[in-house]
Structure 1
């Protein structure tokens, strides 16, 4: 597969790696990117600029490009205007003599990246993308769509042999048993990655691992219902996951591995900051979420330390349950692994788990988004993902602060259209959950009016703002703080509208 990608690149064509979850698209893209990055810069095939973009939304693409413009110190890039900085970066790519690679990872919708696909026609750079989609748009404009599927039996056996041998344990490999393991795990690269990590770290023979696999199979019906297994991969992933989790819990004396996995399984597959799990909010939750020691009551559990959390995370990385490219890179959990983990969260614990994640994300938000665009974009993406997974957990009994923080972040980043669409969603959800006259609904409508104002759609902002003001005076009273804040917003919008009218 690597040879096919390189051959296509030699033809000066962009490459899209397409395939279902768990087949290793992002891993292959990361390997190719690292290989190019690490080559000598004097080499003709070397690389000067590498930009990795989590392309699950337009917002993330724009933020990544704006961050690149800032890092390159491109003239004209303004911190408060991410959209403008992103377009400046795209223009720079078409003109530069430097060698570049842009990786668009996990494209959910080709339409979202259509206007943000870099032009590699100059031959100095190229685009490598990954997606579960196989749309015609992804293979147009001289792009090559390369499909990645399950391992063949020979590829699976070769993978297991290479990993075990490279780790210095060739005696653990047995060709016939490797084939049986591949069959048991459906030849899915993700599940085989779990398996080989277990084999290496536990010094487990393949025969013993097969026995464990087959014994565990009888428990999966309760953990992953058939209805949840939409891609047909849940069984092998869950099987390998459970074995790895057993090994992690045996090695991790802090007993934090499982509660940490529960928290991480609610995060976006594109990644999340590792520091989120050492925030006071996360440490407080973990203190009561881990099993009591020596029959102590949970409320008398000793505090969880940041060192314990980092040690537990290292165990999870060792067994391939989470990944992290560098010490400062985001932590990632594959979507299939996360889905299998979520099936083990007790239903009565989901609300507390979700709101703990929301608390921790909010606490990490930079004071000024332009000071750390990548972090702000990552936090926004995780808030949206968390809400979609756990709704209505972030809306009851009250709307969580992170919902409003994401809206504010979009506006501060200059992503005005995205802010409008986001606030439309927040308004409709708030209205349906809390009712049209609830204070939270009034706040959501006012935020939407402000988003229209920030985007320059003054008349729309004024019409909506005056409606919100009238409802606020009726429901909350004319002197309520929220009413006063809305009145001030409307006054500002009226001034802007008058100024616009005078200039015409």
Structure 2
């Protein structure tokens, strides 16, 4: 039971709130908590003049001095009504590092500069954080609410906002719609923005704006503005660096700040990124300990995800070894105990904006893949029975690394007909970039025959399509792997020699093809 009383006149705003409590025990062992809260006469009024409320804010400084390629998104936010039209909330979604917070922060500063407010920024990572953020608004409007429990102060802030228009609330980094649901239905007289990395079901809470990576032109502009390198000679390397970073805004900011601060050349940074991605992606600009880095951001996300759904992390680590191109979902079907488990894990990854998911394909950003490959795996990934059914010409082992699982799954997903059967060419073309990507990563000794098989089949497909120049390096690699694993006189080595000789002949390089054919014949006759 709560009683609110007004004390005798005591000088208006100088009066402090009083609070007392007690517990009443009844004969049937029930306990009743009784609290008495004494408020000054003006406790329900704002502590600042009404005309000053429009300038009230707690906005942090913008975290980026260079902002490119988001004009359409900013325009969409500017067009949102703020005078009570029934639109409850606008969510801004996207993967970590895509620039959600920066976009909304710029919009919030512009909103405040236009003379509208209050503008209040709230950490929405948990229910407690949301309540505390709203309570802090209540205290800013009138310090007397600092004596109230947080939930009551938060409710007062919501009630206060219901009585006016033109305000803006930002719920940043929301994890769960349930954290906001108690408040959003009551906040319809101003503007509410929600940033979230999770692609959750916000449909009943308002409209959504999904951010994608920047265009190559915008990425180049970001790097040029931060580094000051505007010459044509610099542009080519910066374009290559932007491509390597996957046009992700935070990664571009991180790289640009490092280049500007250390006076490092873009060529040197790009070389380091390729040779030591773990070290480069974890390093911010010297002297800026507050700068977020891609490695930090996604390591936190990965830890959160591992606690919620370990199967999702298993799939994500496997996906890190494929190409950043759409991968047919059926490739992953044997990766977990049941197809339903795969679907649920992919849904979790999509909910965290770590993959792009369609009914038929799954795609991972190239920089997410790079970061994942730099994070040590906690333990070998168990091979479920479903995966073992797809392992051809290989004795199953109790566990595999993520790269080995990626190869095994791809090997099992190859079409059953010969690669020169045109009916399967669309599927071969879809799998080809992933075959090339997997072959570029280190595999365990027991995986080499399987890797040679994948390369051989991929090169067979390319040769059947008349793409001998593209098939040649794959056949050379298949021969190298097979000879190292099985020896120079093994029949499989002879097969690889003959295949390579055939491709060299197709390219008109007959003098190189002849000794390979002769050697293959000698091995076959000896066998």
Report the TM-score when normalising by structure 1: 0.43
> Which structure shows the higher strand fraction?
2
Structure number with bigger Rg: 2
> Which structure shows the higher helix fraction?
1
Whose relative contact order is higher, 1 or 2, with alpha carbons under 8 Å and at least 6 apart?
1
Report the TM-score when normalising by structure 2: 0.42
